[in-house]
Structure 1
């Protein structure tokens, strides 16, 4: 049985005044449990793609469904609830709160889920243990290395048990060893059932993942999974 799509884009475009087209009729399906890269050079449209997939922005035309919900028909409050329930974000520059320890930074990922503080902190401690930072949970960001900060950010993204993790250049600000550890964690998270999408300009990272969706000039120019070409502007694996 084919698992239900986590994300589905159909003929999605994103245009701006002046005739700028960041996305051009993109069709993409991300299935439950996939591990994929959205890869392309600066200006290719992959950042716009992140915003559309994460419901941080809406397409100019076309449709986007997240967990079966057409986002165009949702109010801002329902869209925020959908995002909080189904999507976790990891960014290149961590976005951790200075002066707050790792537990509270992770617990902040549950702020909008209506979870009491004590329970938020309990779940945060569990999430930190899951990214191998149990011994650093009382440390503030200025006491952590870059790799540790990124692992805190991953724990924060995962504390609400989202179906989809969107990682935007997750190794971009890290040294090689820290970057390898972060990618190892993303593989482990995917193996445990989380759908993971890595947005990157790094072809080496992209080539290490089972599926690669390559962008150029706002279009998908190739989509491969397990080394098998799916063709340009595909609707995705299994579609």
Structure 2
């Protein structure tokens, strides 16, 4: 019931330059006869803001790993940012992940004793950019998330909400085609969580493509698109009319087209 991989005009979703994620018939099985995903179809287009929502054990974490290229499916096809994941060896897959996918996790994963700026600059470690350029871009990313005055603060000097903002800055500093936010408010109080969600909406309005993986139905219902997953299957893919639609400024360049890896 999710977005079909066929665009209706004779081209596949993977060939459509506006498609960031194209999954078709994706199944994931583990040893012992456990099937985590069952024939999932999902298309995410550039500039979308969506929730992938489901209870514990529904398969949403497995779906995150597949979309984030952290794992490969047992069956089906996966296209990320114009690339067929099955056609990439491990080295090129790592390059795809580094160039096109940003991750935000519930646990922040910041390096202790390292400044906010250098934590963010770590997101560009494999970019080939000089250290001075990485640190400049990190400072710009922190300004973008409202932490221009926290460049030199270390994680223990930041609140939970500020730590998550640093993690988001690290995820977007390389301008990935896709930002995957896995339970981004799970470790935060309600006020900090609301602020982080508003930041994600702001980034989306600036052109970022964002998928929020959550078990929180309230968060899911507040986003423009809601993909519900249960027992490894997409059981609903709906637009939420009460949510303001995401918009992509015409000045934002396309980030979905595949680059040479």
- Does the pair score TM above 0.5? yes
Q: What's the counterpart of residue 248 of structure 2?
A: none
Q: What's the counterpart of residue 141 of structure 2?
A: 127
SS at match of 1:112: coil
Cα deviation for residue 226 of structure 1 reads 3.5
Q: What stretches of structure 2 of length at least 5 have no aligned partner? A: 1-8, 10-15, 243-261
Q: What's the counterpart of residue 20 of structure 1?
A: 34
CA distance in structure 1 between the aligned counterparts of 2:95 and 2:208, rounded to whole angstroms: 19
Q: What's the counterpart of residue 36 of structure 1?
A: 50
Q: How does 1:17-96 map to 2 (within 5 A)?
A: 17-96=31-110
SS at match of 2:143: helix
Cα deviation for residue 3 of structure 1 reads 5.7
Q: Tell me the TM-score normalized by structure 2.
A: 0.85
Q: What's the counterpart of residue 197 of structure 1?
A: 211
Choose the corresponding residue for 2:115, options 81, 98, 101. Answer: 101
**Residue-pair matches, total:** 228
CA RMSD of aligned residues (A): 1.4
CA distance in structure 1 between the aligned counterparts of 2:239 and 2:94, rounded to whole angstroms: 31
Q: What's the counterpart of residue 235 of structure 1?
A: none
SS at match of 2:137: helix
SS at match of 1:113: coil
CA distance in structure 1 between the aligned counterparts of 2:31 and 2:91, rounded to whole angstroms: 27
Q: What stretches of structure 1 of length at least 5 have no aligned partner? A: 229-239
| Deviation digits for residues 104-138 of structure 1 (CA, Å, limit 9, x no counterpart) | 00000000111110000000000000000011110
Cα deviation for residue 68 of structure 1 reads 1.5
